[in-house]
Chains A and B, each alone.
Chain A
């Protein structure tokens, strides 16, 4: 088991640095997906009352060393929540739950159960190929400094090992860097990406991006349990990276 995660008890915080949380189930193509959409919507409409269709043109290309290019048209069915940036995206090969203002797992888990239950009911023969749970944290030093009223260094916010430059070759004040670590778990695998990267406004922010997933054959009924296990794993990675000042800010402390 290449990943060695700590086992801290789960905590709920008053605020968090999450920019996005995504739970995505991929499956073998269902050509009759559109025919099942009304039934699917009926099963999730109590929570996801908004709806739109989106036609997407997909160009699949290979990375260097491979030379295939493939294009296809996809119609996405999107279900939203009024006044909440949470969306269910249903396509012919995947269904995803996207949160742009994730609060806590007590919302995530029932939503996953609702959506997966609707999928199983509307498309009984769904054949899953991948399930992934991804948390993208954007840690903004300026925001924490503003909220706490304290001058804040990256070392106050993060474990030093997440900020280490090889052989001390660069400092952290004017350096951009990104690290990717991919390794296996007893079930599936996990990819951790982190680094100091420019925000859309051009300021440096620290991104901590954890993608926990499984790709072997599994039953769609397992997803409800799997998402809880994966959320625990992601939490352990976050807690290993978080520094004291960041945790204080998350607890709402000055």
Chain B
């Protein structure tokens, strides 16, 4: 039976022995599909953004990439919990190097 779609957004910033070492990872996994590794995007143009994205270390790149990513995930309802999560991740990365600003309230 073909299952309905439930997506999962996974976020990790831990170091890695792989090529994504010392980078922030944003990962979306659908329970309806075999999960993709970090760095492999979805085979999709407009559907739910399942897959992975490794975001560059540079704060400017990080904000731009994260903003694109959140915009792509239009299926995710924007609620305070998500807003706080993204803000916290950005703050962790840009603290001391740039002024923090909410991605979702731009």
Question: With a CB–CB cut-off of 8 A, which chain B residues contact A57?
Answer: 10-12, 85
CB of A56 closer than 8 Å to a CB of B: yes
State how many angstroms separate the Cβ of A44 from the closest Cβ of chain B.
15
Chain B, Cβ-Cβ closest to A72:
B8
**Structural contact, A52 and B33, CB atoms closer than 8 A:** no
Question: With a CB–CB cut-off of 8 A, which chain A residues contact B17?
Answer: 50, 52, 78, 80
A168–B76 Cα distance when bound, in Å, is 34
CB of A54 closer than 8 Å to a CB of B: yes
Partner of B5 from the list A63, A80, A98 (CB cut-off 8 Å) is A63
CB of B97 closer than 8 Å to a CB of A: no
Q: Tell me whether A176 and B45 are in contact in the complex, defined as CB-CB below 8 angstroms, given that A20-B37, A22-B34, A61-B7 are known contacts.
A: yes
CB of B36 closer than 8 Å to a CB of A: yes
State how many angstroms separate the Cβ of A43 from the closest Cβ of chain B.
20
CB of B15 closer than 8 Å to a CB of A: yes
Q: Tell me whether A215 and B3 are in contact in the complex, defined as CB-CB below 8 angstroms, given that A54-B12, A56-B12, A64-B75 are known contacts.
A: yes
Interface centre among B5, B43, B45, B79 (most CB of A within 10 A): B43
Residues of chain A from 68 to 105 with CB closer than 8 A to chain B in the complex: 69, 71, 74, 76, 78, 80, 85, 87, 94, 96, 98, 100
A interface vs B, CB < 8 Å? 19-20, 22-24, 50, 52-64, 66-67, 69, 71, 74, 76, 78, 80, 85, 87, 94, 96, 98, 100, 132-134, 136, 176-178, 180, 182-184, 189, 191, 193-195, 197, 200, 207, 209, 211, 213, 215-216
B interface vs A, CB < 8 Å? 1-12, 14-19, 27, 33-37, 39-41, 43-48, 75-77, 79, 81-82, 85
